[in-house]
Structure 1
């Protein structure tokens, strides 16, 4: 009997499977525009990673544990192998699967993240999220106002507010496991510790204005993914899939057509 996966998902389209993995603080719907674009050709699975969305919470959510949860979900759905598209944290999880279980990954698109360790850079986000909880907000507008004291980018505030939910008693809280994410923050910032390279083609898409993929990361990328290709989306930051969705969807679609369908 296959163990029950902690992951919840939505599904659309028909054809070869493609699994979409969102970033930190997100949920499966974040890549909704891409899912709709790919659904004409593929069966698209949009996952809520553990500790996010409507998936269950894990006591420990390292990259290895998150990858293991996705593999357990694949067993549950009887997916032997699939293509992955992952943004940010989702890209790290996809890379972890490709490196540790290459037979389960046909190919992958990694959006604006590299297989390296990152320094902490979400202090203001955590402060804003904590302030909403401690402030006992009674509306989304009140939550947005509190968050604006810590975060200057309106797009980031609106992204985070997608995970704000109202409880039956009228109070508001975060759908994701805020404390769990804080506890495991160092672990998910780490790079993969698997040294066996993934030999099949992988596409890295960099936001031209983002500092998540830098020239000094090239050596590590090619060590682990020797057949890697890199595309740069100009005038985009880290949220490239939301800033230029048509271009992002086109790049992903063309790569999958060449490397996955043929």
Structure 2
């Protein structure tokens, strides 16, 4: 059963750009980019199931998440869209492009390859569980709880975007953490669907990221044969946050060529 996703829609004319965040992210992470893009086109930024302000539900397979996104396109009467996905969101948009290619005007995949990955979020989940137990009253306390398991401050700041003020005045997580952890094995799998998406595709990767190494390129080309590969040399996995101007420029140039 599909989930009715929360979304932010700038309105506007033409083929919209639909933006899909990564694991433990949300549409809010893309606000600065959306402000830039909305001057040029309609932008729809979504919260995937168990993330942001979307409902919590069992199941984190890419088919389920792609079907959620397809249902949102139907609800918004969007026949075709440019799809941009980062990390886990990149696998979601690849899945949708395989399952319903007629709905995809172009594909932008940010720092992920269409393959399975090994598990690597144990410390992050431990930190988030520590937050749940600790019930912090402010963001300083929340950071201290996260720091018991997550060393990198940038990662802690990113995770803290999932905090909101609860009814009792303390900070609580708005994630469906139980469902995300239960579905983590599915999240690490390859995108849903089979075969190649033959439409226009841009793949952006961070030069300091390990998610799209050169060894992954043959498989990427097989799944996305029209892909144009751009490497942002000074960026890591969160390339849109680390190199925002270069990221914007690459996306804008690609979308301008689709007009």
CA contact (8 A) 2:26 2:51 kept: yes
In structure 2, the residue matched to 1:196 is: 195
TM-score scaled to structure 1, two decimals?
0.95
Alpha-carbon spacing, 1:177–1:244, altered in 2? closer, same or farther (3 Å):
same
Find out whether 1:14 has 2:29 as its counterpart. Answer: no
Tell me by how many angstroms 1:166 deviates: 1.9
Tell me by how many angstroms 1:196 deviates: 1.9
SS in 2 for 1:162: helix
Tell me by how many angstroms 1:32 deviates: 1.7
Tell me by how many angstroms 1:253 deviates: 0.6
For residues 237 and 125 of structure 1, the distance between their equivalents in structure 2, rounded to whole angstroms, comes to 18
CA contact (8 A) 1:4 1:76 kept: no
In structure 2, the residue matched to 1:49 is: 48
Find out whether 1:118 has 2:112 as its counterpart. Answer: no
Structure 1's unaligned 5+ residue stretches are none
Give the CA RMSD over aligned residues.
Answer: 1.4
Alpha-carbon displacement from aligned partner over 1:100-138 (angstroms, at most 9, x marks no partner): 110111111100001000000111100100111112222
SS in 1 for 2:10: strand
Alpha-carbon displacement from aligned partner over 1:163-207 (angstroms, at most 9, x marks no partner): 111211123321111111100111011002422211112111000
For residues 192 and 11 of structure 2, the distance between their equivalents in structure 1, rounded to whole angstroms, comes to 35
**Stretch of structure 1 that moved more, 5-14 or 84-93:** 5-14
**Stretch of structure 1 that moved more, 229-238 or 185-194:** 185-194
Structure 2's unaligned 5+ residue stretches are none
For residues 47 and 194 of structure 2, the distance between their equivalents in structure 1, rounded to whole angstroms, comes to 27
Count of residue pairs brought into register by the alignment: 258
